[in-house]
Structure 1
Amino acid sequence: MLLTDTIEKKLIEAFHPERLAVINESHMHAGHQPGFDGGGETHMRVRIVSSAFTGMSRVARHRAINDVLKPELDAGLHALAVEPAAPGEATRW
């Protein structure tokens, strides 16, 4: 299973989102480190709208997502950009 799919599945189970996009941005980081060609799944962006985030601070939302994805981060996911929102909040996407 692709890491993108694993992340999506875990976030759906944990937050039951109204909207979710898991985007592999690894290719955008090619050449940033010696020997890194931008392949694989090392840099991800998560865009998520869930009622689970209602009343939570931005930091608390990020922590909740990082807690769910801790095994993936520990296993080598290098970067995780998170754009969480509660229903009705403005998003840039």
Structure 2
Amino acid sequence: MTQTGPIERELRAMLERELAPERLEIANDSAKHHGHAGDDGSGESHFSILVESDRFEGLTRLERQRLVNRVLGDLPGQRIHALSVKALAPGESA
């Protein structure tokens, strides 16, 4: 079983609570950026998220991104240096 840190657990909880996703994949990409700008040494500075939720139905890509940003509040930019988001409506392919 892969260990998850507190920020990753918080990301998951917030997204599950607010978006009730059918699918949620969170990848911690921090190791790929070790020693680069934004690496704070926590091991939780860079993430990629794939989230599939009916909340994205009828929304543009930009509206979906804004919705995810609202859900996550100050995590991106404050406690997470980089966040890649792929937000899909049910039935859309990644």
1:11 aligned to 4, 11, 15, which one? 15
Aligned residue for 1:73? 76
Q: Give the Cα separation in 2 of the matches to 1:18 and 1:12.
A: 9
Structure 1 SS opposite 2:35: coil
AA matched with 1:49: E
Q: Which consecutive unaligned segments of at least 5 residues does structure 2 have?
A: none
Q: Give the Cα separation in 2 of the matches to 1:73 and 1:24.
A: 14
Structure 2 SS opposite 1:89: coil
Structure 2 SS opposite 1:87: coil
1:41 aligns with 2:39: no
Aligned residue for 1:23? 27
TM-score after normalising by structure 2: 0.85
Query: Alpha carbon RMSD of aligned pairs, Å?
Result: 2.0
Structure 1 SS opposite 2:25: strand
Ranges of 4+ aligned residues in structure 1 off by more than 6 Å: none
Q: Give the Cα separation in 1 of the matches to 2:11 and 2:79.
A: 13
Aligned length: 90
Q: In the alignment, is the contact (CA less than 8 A) between 1:29 and 1:38 conserved in 2?
A: no
2:87 aligned to 81, 84, 87, which one? 84
Q: Give the Cα separation in 2 of the matches to 1:75 and 1:33.
A: 14
